[in-house]
Structure 1
Amino acid sequence: MTNLMWARSVEWLAAAATNPGACKRQWDQGSGSALLEAGRYWDVLSVPEQLGLLALDILWSDPLQVPGPTLADCAARRVGFFLPPDPASRWEGSGLRHLGKGSWIAVPPPYRSAGPLEWIVPPDGTGVLHPALSLELALRQANGTLVVLEPPAGEQPPAARRPG
């Protein structure tokens, strides 16, 4: 990204802060993240890491659509997809967490990681987000793939089996 693109992405992301100036100073002077409120400019759908990475790979396979901002929490092993705010949205599935109005999320600046938080796809400053329908379809496909790859109940995955 060029410096102008980084500057636009910082402005876009900091706009969600209660005090955008303080947020930008915190990013510039600190090494951490800032707490930003979801539900105004974007919501976040947080999913288990394996599901999220597979869904993101599926989203990348469409050459006509660039995925929106995607954040990884390496400590919690979760992936957060930034999507348009939708107060009526009902995301269902094991381990899915929809963060909308009234929810807060720790966010690093778009130009670096902060502890366990890092951007897989940083915001580009244009306001592009993941379309909810595309994300839902990618998650369904990823979940189907994971179900097929999951060993039958009570059986250990091949890497964990002991030699006979």
Structure 2
Amino acid sequence: MPTTRLPTAAGCTLQDAGQAWDAVRVPCRLGLDAMTILGTRCGAALEYPNKAVYYFIPRGTAANWNVENTEAIGEGGTLTIPPARYTEAPGPHWRVCPGDGNWLTDARALQAAIEDASLSCTGEGRPT
């Protein structure tokens, strides 16, 4: 089966989910809106331009993740990870660079931010 290759920066590595972290794939616009809602509660966040934002959540969390319009990536999944300070396209790049110790976003905070961002995108919950 052929794989689609995205243009990537030199130094990118393919890393396995389910080891130190699981990840959540969120469509780009929704993911960026959720990032704004999370503010300083946001851990490292990776953008695949015009496709998705990936958030890193605690290992094992993907197994129970069930949030509409998202995809959890746990053990058996992989992500292309750019160098730590690569912050511009082309290819995958950091919207929030990984810190020295903790890449993770709290899964409950991420879920709430995605749900709030979804309401904003659909116009629900806005005053009339």
Q: Aligned equivalents of 2:15 and 2:103: distance in 1?
A: 18
TM-score, normalised on structure 1?
0.64
**Larger proportion of strand:** 2
Identity score, percent: 29
Root-mean-square deviation (Å): 1.8
Please give the secondary structure, in 2, of the residue aligned with 1:111.
coil
Q: Which has the higher helix share?
A: 1
Task: Work out the CA distance in 2 between the residues paired with 1:143 and 1:57.
Answer: 13
- Letter matched to residue 75 of structure 2: K
Give the TM-score normalised by the residue count of structure 2. 0.81
Of 61, 66, 79 in structure 1, the residue corresponding to residue 53 of structure 2 is 79
Higher Rg of the two aligned structures: 1
CA distance in 1, matches of 2:97, 2:44: 5
Q: Which aligned pairs between 1:4-153 and structure 2 lie closer than 5 A?
A: 31-60=10-39, 65-75=40-50, 77-86=51-60, 88-94=63-69, 96-113=70-87, 115-148=90-123
* Structure 1 unpaired stretches of 5+: 1-29, 150-164
CA distance in 2 between counterparts of 1:48 and 1:32 reads 25
Q: CA deviation at 1:101?
A: 0.4
Gaps of 5+ in 2: 1-8
Deviation at 1:128, TM superposition (A): 4.2
| Cα distance, 1:92 vs structure 2 | 2.8
Runs of 4+ aligned residues of structure 1 deviating over 6 Å after TM superposition are none
